[in-house]
Structure 1
Amino acid sequence: MKIPSSFLTILLLFGTILIKAQNGPTPVAVFAQKIAKEKAPQIIDARSAEEFALNHINGAIYLSPNDADYEQKLKSFNSNKSVFVYSIGNGRSAVLAKDLRNRGFQEVYELEGGIGSWVGAGNAIFTNADKPLSKNAYDQLVASNKVVLVDVGSKYCGACKKVKPVLEELRQKYGTSLKIVELNLENDPDLIASLKTVTAFPYLIIYQDGKPVLKKAGIKDLSQELNQVLDKAL
């Protein structure tokens, strides 16, 4: 009997989603959709307790394999239901996700890009942000300066710290002709969400005459790419 091609396509799609859930990070759109379908989603924040206290995805529970009560806390989770895990990048969440799978959890979804991608996609979080930069003030900064470099990250992000020396070099090179704005998850979550462009931390944006001319996630070739764009703009 010949199997309809449409049925094979559905099977292939289902298999791809299942493999991704079990073996690699899940894109933020899929992650959010699956959480929305759960009546009481099991969401785990794999960062530190301090980070969790400052901000986290709504409904998330802090859990770290390094804590003394890890085994006890783990008993409160249902291994037969989906579990959603995130951190800043994929380091701590990957360790936790792997441990959950090894313990028999059936569906473990690890957020690709971490909480940065979640906020960057405009999804809501709980936050204790203090004196954030408003969207109106941000727009004014972009509009009133010929060239603006925006650095988006978190003070708990290891890779984000490697951006700071690069920014200092750019300050020395371009002086006041370059406006640098630094946003972080701890103070500016709503503003970061409103940009609807951040996919991971760190994330860099260069505006020229009010329009973005560079959007870059990560630190690979960062100094080279920033200098190339800024040399042309300035």
Structure 2
Amino acid sequence: MKNSKLKNSLTALVLLFTLIGFSQDKNPNVVPLEVFYTKIKSQKKPQIIDARGADEFALNHINGAVNFNLQSENYAKHIASLDKSKPVFIYSIGAGRSVALEKELLKNGFKEAYSLEGGIANWIGNGKPFYANPDSYRDKSKLSLTEYNKIIADNNTVLVDIGSKYCAPCKKVKPILETIRAQYGSNLKIVEIELEDSPQVIADLKTINVFPTLLLYKKGKIIFKKEGISDLKNDLDVALN
């Protein structure tokens, strides 16, 4: 009986320290989309930083953002142009470069700095306003929302992979898709959508929080949604069967 009580006490302590560890690891400055958006809207002239590469920024970005990160040659000049007493809002393709910059700014005297959870995928993927370079999307072969909806309507089972060519995890999805394509053949229609080609489709879906995201449709309805690549092949097999 005593051994059982001791074991239970030790288990409870382990759980407590684990939870404490998780809470310490969570960065309070990485905020959800609506918090990020509301804070931006509360500022007359919000300081928004796109921490992606220049080529990514040129294709699409949040309205009013400036583009630099910790590796930029003109980093010091950009920092000097910011007001340390006012909030800074940072995003990237996910939460890598934005978090690194956010931490650096806070360490160097900035009052507030926030990183967007899910990055540009979350912003555009939930229909928030953004700039898209019109010269980059004039190719008529690119997917439109009308074409997207027709594909969903015309096929019984459709797997949609949504991501970006600049997203490292997204690249790991491609070989898994090839395996799935070979396994299910003509029984499954696979559609791949990238931010660089079809941002408006991603925005219009209003269901994307992170890259990569996979959506499985059956008879026109989403029956499975997968964010990230953890256990992707197994999860897809379960959903498809």
Which TM bucket (shorter chain)? 0.7 to 0.9
Match of 2:178 among 156, 168, 174: 168
Q: After the TM superposition, which segments of 4 or more aligned residues of structure 1 sit over 3 Å from their partners?
A: 21-24
CA contact (8 A) 1:22 1:109 kept: no
Distance in 1 between the 2:37 and 2:53 partners? 22
Match of 2:59 among 54, 57, 60: 54
1:112: how far off? 0.2
Distance in 2 between the 1:24 and 1:225 partners? 31
Name the counterpart of 1:148: 158
Structure 2 gaps, min length 5: 1-23
SS at match of 1:59: coil
CA contact (8 A) 1:152 1:184 kept: yes
Task: Please provide the CA RMSD for this pair.
Answer: 1.5
Q: Deviations over 1:187-228 (max 9, x none)?
A: 111110111110100000000011001111111111110111
Aligned length: 212
Task: Give the greater-gyration-radius structure (CA).
Answer: 2
Distance in 2 between the 1:69 and 1:23 partners? 28
CA contact (8 A) 1:134 1:191 kept: yes
TM-score after normalising by structure 2: 0.85
Structure 1 gaps, min length 5: 1-18
Name the counterpart of 2:6: none
TM-score after normalising by structure 1: 0.87
CA contact (8 A) 1:120 1:195 kept: yes
Name the counterpart of 2:125: 120
Amino acid in the other structure paired with 1:222: L
User: Which aligned pairs between 1:83-122 and structure 2 lie closer than 5 A?
Assistant: 83-122=88-127
CA contact (8 A) 2:29 2:113 kept: no
1:24: how far off? 3.4
CA contact (8 A) 2:152 2:158 kept: yes
Distance in 2 between the 1:190 and 1:66 partners? 30
Distance in 2 between the 1:197 and 1:144 partners? 21
Identity among equivalent positions (%) equals 49
User: Which aligned pairs between 1:16-55 and structure 2 lie closer than 5 A?
Assistant: 23-55=28-60
